[in-house]
Structure 1
Amino acid sequence: MSEQALKSSTATLTLSFPWTTAQDKGQVREVVEGVYWLRMPLPFALDHINLYLLRHEHGWVVVDTGMATDAGRAAWEHVFVELFAGQPILAVIVTHAHYDHSGLLGWLSERFQCPTYMTFGEFHSLGIQGPDNDGPNWAFLQFYRRAGVAESDINGMLAALGKSVYQVDMPQGYRRLREGQMLRIGTRRWQVVIGAGHSPEHACLYCEEDQLLISGDQVLPRITSSICITVTEPDANPLGDWFASLRRLQQLPDSVLVLPAHERPFRGLHLRLRQLRQHHDKHLEHLRSALVQPLSAEQARALLFPRVRNGFDHLMAMGETLAHLNYLMEEGAVRRELCESVWRYCLVQGVVQPKGLPEDIHL
């Protein structure tokens, strides 16, 4: 099928949602026997996260924790009484390290004295801290100045990062999840399927018998997961990792019921994976057209994301823009030069050769 035909066929297809509406925040709904969907409140425009509660032999296994807020703790207290009825949490599985998925990890683990299960990359990402109350370090300031961000906007980003809701209650340790592992929880076997791009080593859980996929943020039905570059790894290529993950997830059956971290469960995995790829391809094409003349990352950001409401939006939009620029550089389609302390990106003329990994790193 041609690319144009693929786009046309995709445009006529729609996802299928078994539930027309979601339950209220703080409430639970049974998906299938022994698998419950908890809709947890978040203090943002994206006002909820979906957690999944799996009945085990003498208690429960929970997938993700919600944020470290009073509203999150109150929702859990309600679940402890109304659903768990005094039974304990036996283990906490965390799909990835982001604060809305792991914020209450230490609180739950300590309360029930139960183990945490995560991938290696995600556990160690928990320990990466942003700027503290003493202000940013030189690397943070240099990173955004070289991206062409104005000082006033850098200050707005710092203010957003300093909010306490972005903190994670750390556990003492963890049990490592690996690709292809089978987890026996209750009467089901869940296969660990690892993705990347949105986070370093994101764990999804696939139950072949019941055709269920707990997808975390790796596959969402309407919004697209953030694919960002930060000062932590400025030369990374998370968009390349994301595309590779989409190809691996395409190997799962299209018939699965996807249980995402946001919005409602849905069917139509393969369609959604194609839509996610097309979303980023549009951004890449926009950049290729614009970069016939040199632009800073901030100028490119204004083209891709012209409307940012606050410092947090600006931070995320810049991270996404840099991810697309880094992808194009690794493909060999774009080069950059440091001009007056700001990186300028420009399209490579002539035949494009993918760069891949350089033979030498020039420090």
Structure 2
Amino acid sequence: MDNAAAKERERIKPPDVLKYPFEPPKADGSHVEIAPGLLWLRMPMPMALDHINVYLLKDGDGWALVDTGLGIPRTFELWEQIFTEKFAGQPLTRVICTHCHYDHAGAAWWLQERFNVPLIMTFGEFMMLRSLMGPPPDPLPQSHRDFYARAGVTDEELDKMVGAMRKDPFMPRHPGNYQRIRGGEVLQIGEREWRVVIGEGHSPEHACLYNEADGILLAGDQVLPRITSNVMVSPVEPEGNPLKFWLDSLQRLHSLPADTLVLPSHQGVFYGLHDRLNQVREHHEQQFELVREYLAEVGKASAAELMVVLFPRLRGPVDRLMALGETIAHLNLLKQAGVLLRQPGAGKIEYFSLA
């Protein structure tokens, strides 16, 4: 799941080195033409990060869509307006979702049913959408409670976080079928070829699309210009190391040309791919250094205590849940790299110290 408010609070200072060649469209069905047969639109989101970028690719007599917006009535109204008024007689041909989070795939089921088109995703993202993109189970499994207890979260705090998640109004309805894409596969969409480039960490098998001829990357949430995507450990995979996979993914994207035009899922279309990848890596290095400095000073700390060090300006229970997951991602990477030690403490709480 994607929490835009948490992303906003992890903001990195907007980098001057990036260049933004286009003014963004309004989130009202308007579009900006990036290149012939490639349109940039925005769908509104009623939250701190108030939009998602979506892209239409000319596909024969119609249009292929990359990402969908939230599964809410306003999104449905806009897609209805776009394909009955703006593109009257030009059908939607297929829906491609970069990953499972509900701003990217929340309206997939509706678009499939309304326009009778295939949904195209990687296996990992479709299965995550089907299995885990929903409210936390009620009652919460004991293994989940144990995970948060080890992190230093009290029962009262956990109930607030989980309760807020259960009230989330944007949990998507699940699509029933899909067509699978794999890393390295080439999709022919109209006159352009798009190579699938897989990213990991933010989600399990995130699909970016790269067009070498025009030097364009449909980046999803793998590369954003001013905010960092959430990379978190959850109780489903408590020993997971998603941050390592995330950093490895950034390195793979670094192999693309520096002058690639990046079409992200949030904020502006930009040039400066390598600069931005370096900034995101430096951001996480700074987070690692904060952990090391704090532990050198206090000796040991729980994940919940270290969360406040890394994310000092959290405002609500969902933010805390996301920030805790990302804190544990940093700790798991450092522990598995031999930088930290983990030891049990009183009341099931686990503590981290320098190795």
* Alignment TM-score > 0.5, same fold: yes
* 1:29 equivalent in structure 2: 32
Matches within 5 A, 1:69-84: 69-84=72-87
* 1:125 equivalent in structure 2: 128
* 1:335 equivalent in structure 2: 341
Corresponding letter in the other structure for 1:29: V
SS in 2 for 1:194: strand
Tell me if structure 2 keeps the 8 A contact 1:13–1:271: no
Using the aligned pairs only, state the percent identity: 47
Matched, 1:307 2:313: yes
**Unaligned 5+ runs, structure 1:** 1-10, 349-363
* 1:215 equivalent in structure 2: 219
Q: How far apart are the structure 1 equivalents of 2:352 and 2:25?
A: 46
Matched, 1:346 2:332: no
Tell me if structure 1 keeps the 8 A contact 2:135–2:171: no
SS in 1 for 2:204: coil
Q: CA deviation at 1:169?
A: 2.2
Q: How far apart are the structure 2 equivalents of 1:181 and 1:101?
A: 21
Corresponding letter in the other structure for 1:329: K
Deviations 1:184-234 (A, max 9, x none): 111111111111111101100001111110000000000011111111211
Q: How far apart are the structure 1 equivalents of 2:169 and 2:218?
A: 25
Tell me if structure 2 keeps the 8 A contact 1:131–1:137: no
Which of 182, 192, 205 is matched with 1:178 structurally? 182
Shift in alpha-carbon separation, 1:164–1:176, aligned structure 2, 3 A: same
* 2:102 equivalent in structure 1: 99
SS in 2 for 1:166: coil
Corresponding letter in the other structure for 1:22: P
Tell me if structure 2 keeps the 8 A contact 1:110–1:171: no
Q: How far apart are the structure 2 equivalents of 1:316 and 1:44?
A: 16
**Unaligned 5+ runs, structure 2:** 1-13
Larger displacement relative to structure 2 (57-66 or 216-225): 57-66
Q: CA deviation at 1:58?
A: 2.2
Deviations 1:93-124 (A, max 9, x none): 11000111010111111112211111111111
Kindly tell me the number of residue pairs found equivalent between the two proteins: 337
Q: CA deviation at 1:141?
A: 1.8
Which of structures 1 and 2 has the larger relative contact order (alpha carbons within 8 angstroms, sep 6+)? 2
SS in 2 for 1:345: strand
Q: How far apart are the structure 1 equivalents of 2:78 and 2:168?
A: 19
Tell me if structure 1 keeps the 8 A contact 2:25–2:40: no
Which of 159, 166, 178 is matched with 2:170 structurally? 166
SS in 1 for 2:196: strand
Q: Show structure 1 runs of 4+ deviating over 6 A.
A: none
* 1:157 equivalent in structure 2: 161
Q: CA deviation at 1:314?
A: 0.6
Q: How far apart are the structure 1 equivalents of 2:197 and 2:241?
A: 20
Deviations 1:138-188 (A, max 9, x none): 222222121111223212211221134332222221111111111111111
Which of 245, 248, 258 is matched with 1:244 structurally? 248
Matches within 5 A, 1:185-200: 185-200=189-204
Tell me if structure 2 keeps the 8 A contact 1:67–1:165: no
Q: How far apart are the structure 2 equivalents of 1:152 and 1:328?
A: 29
SS in 2 for 1:245: helix
TM-score by length of 2: 0.91
Q: How far apart are the structure 1 equivalents of 2:295 and 2:104?
A: 37
* 1:254 equivalent in structure 2: 258
TM-score by length of 1: 0.89
Q: How far apart are the structure 2 equivalents of 1:139 and 1:48?
A: 35
* Backbone CA RMSD of aligned residues: 1.6
* 2:60 equivalent in structure 1: 57
Q: How far apart are the structure 1 equivalents of 2:131 and 2:152?
A: 24
